[in-house]
Amino acid sequence: MRVKLVILLTAFLFFALCAGAQNACTTLGQNPATAFPVCGTSVFSQTTVPNCGGKRIPGPCATTDSLTDTNPFWYKFTCFSPGTLGFLIKPDDLGDDYDWQLFDITGHDPNDVYTDKTLFVSCNWSGNTGLTGASSAGRSLNNCAGTSYPTFSSMPTLKLNHNYLLLVSHFTKFKPGQAGYQLSFGGGTASITDTIQPALKSLSSSCDATKIYIKLNKKMKCSSLAADGSDFLISPAVVQINSAVSFCNGFDMDSVELNLNGRLPVGNYTISVKTGTDGNTLFDNCGRNIPVGNSLPLNILPLAPTPMDSLVPVKCAPQSLQLIFRKNILCNSVAPDGSDFAVDGPSPVSVVSATTNCINNVTKTITLNLSSPTVNGGTYRIILKTGNDGNTIIDECSEQTPVGSALNFNVQDTVSADFSYQILQGCKQDTVQFTHNGKHQVNQWLWQLDYNGTSNLQNPATYFNSFGTKQIILSVSNGFCSDTVSKNIILDNTLKAAFETNNTLCPEDTAVFKNTSIGNIVSYDWNFQNGNFSTDENPSPQKYPVLLAEKNYPVTLVVKNNLGCYDTAINNIRVLKSCYIAVPNAFTPNGDGLNDFLYPLNAFKADNLQFKVYNRLGQLVFQSKDWTQKWDGTVKGDPQDAGIYVWTLEYILRDTGKHIFMKGSTVLIR
């Protein structure tokens, strides 16, 4: 067994010192673009594996930067039924180390496997030799370098109609000779076998009718095409087929060109498939032949100008129009300034330029760029005229489309989602009625009514039981154009009665009131519960009688807004019988609820308070900066002995700002 990490480092140094040791891959199948097409029933036997490769392969392994397509072969396939993929790589020499990695290249160039990490599906770069692949015995989708990794990965899941590339890498690259392997597919639930019967798909001819272009309905093997064109028959046989040319990309093709010994006269013909001089018709990658007799009609028309055939469906407020033609148009016949075309309709439209997508100086599309978006609905026409280049447009058969050729298209009005609303205010709930004018054939509405959900009505109403700012979003469409508008509406009839006051009063204090009510308030009604009332927004201070016991006074404020709604706030004012600060001369911490604690009484107006208690030895047993924190006669939970304790009390009297210091003693009675 070899440890692949060591080999990878060795390989890295080898490449660095001997840059020419790895050769470019030139054998068919050894590059992503020329991968073997796979039929799920096939077994691939590679008798030798040429030395080449060395391009880095991105993947999930920690050693990814050192992994390369060493001595590769590539295989391509499509998923025709989703499920799991199982396969087996069996080295001819079981002492060889084969690795593999699977890519999903749907919508990508095959060579993107070297740069795009997102194409990765699964892999096995185990350092062990022998059989490898993906099977039910695998426990992980991704097995990286090192002998601790098994050679079988779990089966990856394939997606319907996705295209895949499988890299098989012969890592034993320094071994003399390159023994091959067998690759077979099976064991999974996915199908990579195309069940569509091979057939002709479409026919066309060159301008001079000396060539016939055949489009096949699927990829077929290039090797199945007879070069003399004997796989095909023209009926009636007014000309003969001289040769057939395949448009191959690696191993397979989907197009064939037939070269004739003369020009086909105008008329109707049939192109049929027959057994060629090579003993077969064309066959697909699973070896299934196009049936003998499979045929399509071919109509050779007199040469005629190519009309403006169709228009890519326009979107809302188009500022460009894309024309489609049946035949290729010569790119140099299209005036870049768009002067070959004019557009008329319900509103003025100017063509400012024309762009083409040219390949070999021909194109089947011309894009007209307009001076401004077309926002008014109706029927418009694209009209062909002689451009500043002295002609209209000319097709690949040198036929000029005549001046005045026209193509109609329809545009619908743009729409606006702007809306109006009316607020019907209430005391506990507001009603909001929304209105959209429905202009320009709007037939779809989607309202998002803040936290009240959605509505598809043109003019909905909703109810809000909380006030403030609400976000309303409306999206509208006429099936062609759409628009969205967002507005914040303010429900400003919040009404809340509230006030602040000094909630605890000493006998000589005055209560001061600060009104904090909110809303469109038109009246205030105060009841101070001391016999006084007020209708002022901010009333004058109030005095409360001195009593023999403390008392609570529930002060009320009732407010009224412009809608006739009311709200009430109540704050209790506690009036004390005394605010004289004193420390008791004795306390009995026996838990009977009477005189159980030692603390400075009535210290309501004591700021920066410091209260300390000492035992007879002068040891501090209790201290507090909060007069409501009381000594219970214990230290760390241990009851202290009965006897005399000394205390000190200092504070700043709030009313005068005077610093007060007091000292005395208290008897702890047990």
d(CA 342, CA 392): 12
Residues with Cβ within 8 Å of residue 57, at least 6 apart in sequence: 64, 67, 68, 69, 101, 113, 114, 167
Our separate counts of H helices and E strands in the chain read: 1, 50
Give 338's pLDDT tier (boundaries 50, 70, 90): very high
Q: How is the chain split into domains, by residue range?
A: 4-185, 200-300, 310-411, 420-491, 499-575, 586-668
d(CA 450, CA 432): 12
* Three-state SS letters, 220-285: EEHHHCCCCCCCEEEECCCCCEEEEEEEEECCEEEEEEEEECCCCCCEEEEEEECCCCCCCCCEEC
- The CATH number that domain 4-185 falls under is 2.60.120.380
Query: What integer is the mean pLDDT of 497-525?
Result: 94
pLDDT of residue 249: 77
Starting at the edge strand found earlier in the chain, the sheet holding 461-464 runs 420-424, 430-435, 461-464
Extract the runs of DSSP E, i.e. beta strands, from 171-225: 179-185, 200-205, 211-221
DSSP assignment of 288-336, as one string?
PBPPTT-EEEEEEPPP-PPP--EEPPP-SS-SEEEEEEEEEEEGGGS-T
pLDDT of residue 62: 66
Burial of 139 (0-12, 13-18, 19+ CB in 10 A): exposed
pLDDT of residue 51: 87
Any idea what DSSP says for residue 33?
G
Compare 216 and 17 and report the one with higher pLDDT: 216
Convert the pLDDT of each residue in 130-172 to its tens digit.
999 999 999 999 998 776 789 999 999 999 999 999 999 998 7
With tokens 């069940």, the residue in question is 195
Give 20's pLDDT tier (boundaries 50, 70, 90): very low
Q: How do strand 461-464 and strand 430-435 relate by DSSP bridges?
A: antiparallel
CA dihedral 242→244→245→249, nearest 10 degrees, is -170
Element (H, E) at 664: strand 659-668
Burial of 398 (0-12, 13-18, 19+ CB in 10 A): exposed
Mean per-residue pLDDT over the chain, rounded: 92
Position 13 pLDDT exceeds 60: no
Element (H, E) at 14: helix 4-17
Q: How far is CA 180 from the centre of its chain?
A: 45
CATH architecture of the domain 310-411 equals Sandwich (2.60)
pLDDT of residue 176: 53
Q: Determine if residue 139 is left, alpha or beta; phi over 0 gives left, psi from -120 to 50 gives alpha, anything else beta.
A: alpha
d(CA 604, CA 370): 82
The identity of residue 651, as a single letter, is Y
With tokens 């006998």, the residue in question is 507
Any idea what DSSP says for residue 400?
B
Convert the pLDDT of each residue in 48-64 to its tens digit.
888 888 899 988 886 55
Convert the pLDDT of each residue in 638-655 to its tens digit.
999 999 999 999 999 988
Q: How far apart are the first and last CA of the chain?
A: 88
Extract the runs of DSSP E, i.e. beta strands, from 412-562: 420-424, 430-435, 444-449, 454-455, 461-464, 468-477, 482-491, 499-501, 504-505, 510-511, 513-515, 521-527, 533-534, 542-543, 551-561
Query: What integer is the mean pLDDT of 421-435?
Result: 95
DSSP assignment of 74-98, as one string?
EEEEE-SB-EE--EEEEESSTTS-E
**For 420-491, which CATH superfamily applies?**
Immunoglobulins (2.60.40.10)
200-300 CATH choice from 2.70.98.20, 2.60.40.1220, 2.40.160.20, 1.10.540.10: 2.60.40.1220
d(CA 603, CA 248): 101
With beta carbons less than 8 A apart as the criterion, state whether 74 and 166 touch: yes
Joined tokens for residue 504: 């605890």
Joined tokens for residue 589: 């911490």
pLDDT of residue 653: 94
Domain covering 586-668 assigned CATH 2.60.450 in the classification: no
* Three-state SS letters, 422-441: EEECCCCCEEEEEECCCCCC
Position 558 pLDDT exceeds 80: yes
Convert the pLDDT of each residue in 447-470 to its tens digit.
999 999 999 999 999 999 999 999
The identity of residue 229, as a single letter, is G
Residues with Cβ within 8 Å of residue 670, at least 6 apart in sequence: 588, 589, 590, 639, 641, 642
Q: What are phi and psi of 118, to 5 degrees?
A: -70, -15
DSSP assignment of 96-147, as one string?
S-EEEEEEE-TTS-GGGGGT-GGGEEEEE--S--S-EEE-TT---SEE-SST
Joined tokens for residue 310: 């169709």
Same fold, 200-300 and 310-411: yes
Give 66's pLDDT tier (boundaries 50, 70, 90): low
Q: Which residue, 130, 128, 112, is CA-closest to 120?
A: 112
Convert the pLDDT of each residue in 243-273 to its tens digit.
999 988 789 999 999 999 999 999 999 999 9
Q: Is the dihedral of CA 456, 462, 465, 470 positive or negative?
A: positive
Q: Which residue, 481, 474, 480, 441, is CA-closest to 459?
A: 474
Give 177's pLDDT tier (boundaries 50, 70, 90): low
Residues with Cβ within 8 Å of residue 16, at least 6 apart in sequence: none
- The CATH number that domain 499-575 falls under is 2.60.40.10
Q: Which residue, 42, 38, 20, is CA-closest to 29?
A: 38
pLDDT of residue 39: 87
pLDDT of residue 64: 53
